[in-house]
């Protein structure tokens, strides 16, 4: 039997550690994921309460994910609108 992880079935963004040095903005993540076409639309999604990272609602368009969020090898789940989901990983 072949083991398939959740990351194998879900869209994933991998970031090199140096790319996370100054953090990655939530608006940029939404754009990279293709969940919005413009930064204004992505900001509107955040401000409307439609964005979650793991189970935490993000309301600030200036929110950044910093490298220490991955210190334990965690994978973060970005959810927009309750249905569009993407995993965020640090590629080591």
Check which CATH number belongs to the domain holding 61 and give it. 3.10.290.10
pTM: 0.81
Question: What is the chain's pLDDT, residue by residue, as a tens digit (92 residues)?
Answer: 443 355 457 889 888 877 888 889 999 999 999 999 999 999 999 999 999 998 899 999 999 988 878 777 678 899 999 888 999 988 86
Please give the residue range of the domain that contains residue 47.
23-90
Residue 48 CA to residue 62 CA, distance in Å, equals 14
Q: Is residue 58 part of a domain?
A: yes
* Residue 76, in any domain of the structure: yes
Q: Which residue's structure tokens are 């964005």?
A: 51
Whether 40 is covered by a domain: the verdict is yes
11 within a domain of the structure (yes/no)? no
Q: Is 12 helix (H, G, I), strand (E, B) or coil?
A: strand
Is the residue at 6 inside a domain? no
Q: How many domains are there within the chain?
A: 1
Task: Report if residue 48 sits inside a domain.
Answer: yes
């Amino acid at each position: 039997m072949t083991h398939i992880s959740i990351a194998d079935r879900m869209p994933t963004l991998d970031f090199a550690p140096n790319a996370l040095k100054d953090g990655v903005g939530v608006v940029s993540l939404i754009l990279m994921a293709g969940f919005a076409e413009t930064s204004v639309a992505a900001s509107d999604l955040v401000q409307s309460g439609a964005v979650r990272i793991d189970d935490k609602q993000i309301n600030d368009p200036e929110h950044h994910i910093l490298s220490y969020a991955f210190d334990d090898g965690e994978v973060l789940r970005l959810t927009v609108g309750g249905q569009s989901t993407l995993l965020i990983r640090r590629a080591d």
